[in-house]
């Protein structure tokens, strides 16, 4: 059975936020098809003027449909606002499994976003030069946040969270206990309100908001991999992408 994994980055971020996990999975199984789209207004340079929640909903729906046309089942991994967009897809499409990383189902204070970016810049030992340049970029963008873009983010949250109980797909929630942007209690809120019967929580003791760069990432990367391919392991077969 062919498996595809759709990775969705966060608000004002880009694909770097989820790339470490995508690379880990790709190295473990080269046959897996991974898709990491860039949301409207995001990328190397933020261009959020005129971008609304509807654009991001459209982006992830298009990415899902494209990936679904190539595989038999789609797993969705979402970081921060991308986690909320992953939940949106689960409400509308037959998503096989969900992985929510620092899922921002609570309102993000733009001032806090600035402080988180600043904090990361001061603790960069685990980052590559490319990732450092990206964080420097995020620091200045967060400092000059577009108010309308923030409103669009809140619209994403408001359109999804009332329907959490209707989501039934198996879900794994990963949350950093040191997250200065999304409180760790958010993971408990999701766990309690999602309608899924198969739910897993993982708390990274030293993890901050950008959880894919936590010092224990290899440990929970392994757990995410096992969660995604749980059924295949039970059947003693690896995903077949031929």
What are the sequence ranges of the domains in the chain?
A: 3-107+147-234
For 223, which DSSP code? H
Per-residue model confidence (pLDDT) at position 240: 29
Task: Give the tens place of pLDDT for each residue, 25-46.
Answer: 999 988 899 999 999 999 877 8
Asked whether 8 and 77 are in contact (CB, 8 A), the reply is yes
Catalytic residue from among 179, 196, 204, 214: 179
Judge whether 209 counts as a catalytic residue. Answer: yes
Judge whether 208 counts as a catalytic residue. Answer: no
**Is residue 175 helix, strand or coil?**
strand
Give the annotated binding-site residues for substrate.
11, 81
Q: CATH homologous superfamily for 3-107+147-234?
A: Alpha/Beta hydrolase fold, catalytic domain (3.40.50.1820)
Phi then psi dihedrals of residue 4, to 5 deg? -120, 145
Phi then psi dihedrals of residue 74, to 5 deg? -120, 130
- Single out the residue of 234, 103, 81, 125 nearest to residue 171, CA to CA: 103
Catalytic residue from among 9, 42, 59, 80: 80
Q: Which pLDDT tens digits describe the chain residue by residue (242 residues)?
A: 899 999 999 998 889 899 999 999 999 988 899 999 999 999 877 888 899 999 999 999 999 999 999 999 999 999 999 999 999 999 999 999 999 999 999 866 666 666 666 666 666 666 667 567 666 666 656 665 678 888 899 999 999 999 999 999 999 999 999 887 888 899 999 999 999 999 999 999 999 888 998 899 999 999 999 999 986 543 332 332 22
Give the annotated binding-site residues.
11, 81
Judge whether 80 counts as a catalytic residue. Answer: yes
Is 26 exposed, middle or buried (CB count within 10 Å of its CB: 0-12, 13-18, 19+)?
middle
- Single out the residue of 202, 4, 205 nearest to residue 97, CA to CA: 4
Asked whether 172 and 61 are in contact (CB, 8 A), the reply is no
């Amino acid at each position: 059975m062919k498996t595809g994994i759709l990775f969705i980055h966060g608000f004002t971020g880009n694909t770097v936020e989820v790339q470490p996990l995508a690379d880990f999975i790709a190295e473990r199984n080269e046959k897996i098809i991974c898709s990491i789209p860039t949301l409207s207004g995001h990328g190397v340079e933020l261009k959020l003027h005129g971008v609304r929640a509807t654009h991001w909903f459209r982006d992830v729906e298009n990415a899902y449909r494209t990936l679904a046309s190539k595989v038999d089942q789609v797993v969705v991994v979402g970081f921060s606002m991308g986690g909320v967009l992953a939940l949106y897809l689960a409400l509308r499409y037959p998503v096989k499994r969900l992985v929510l990383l620092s899922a921002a189902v609570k309102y993000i204070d733009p001032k806090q976003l600035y402080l988180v970016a600043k904090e990361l810049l001061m603790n960069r030992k685990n980052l590559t030069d490319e990732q450092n340049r990206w964080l420097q970029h995020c620091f200045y963008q967060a400092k000059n946040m577009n108010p309308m873009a923030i409103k669009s983010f809140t619209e994403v949250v408001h359109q999804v969270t009332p329907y959490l109980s209707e989501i039934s797909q198996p879900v794994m929630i990963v949350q950093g206990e040191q997250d200065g942007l999304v409180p760790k209690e958010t993971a408990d809120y999701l766990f309690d309100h999602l309608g899924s019967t198969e739910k897993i929580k993982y708390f990274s003791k030293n993890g901050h908001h950008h959880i894919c760069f936590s010092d224990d990432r290899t440990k929970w990367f392994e757990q995410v991999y096992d969660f995604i391919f749980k059924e295949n392991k039970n059947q003693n077969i690896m995903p077949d992408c031929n």
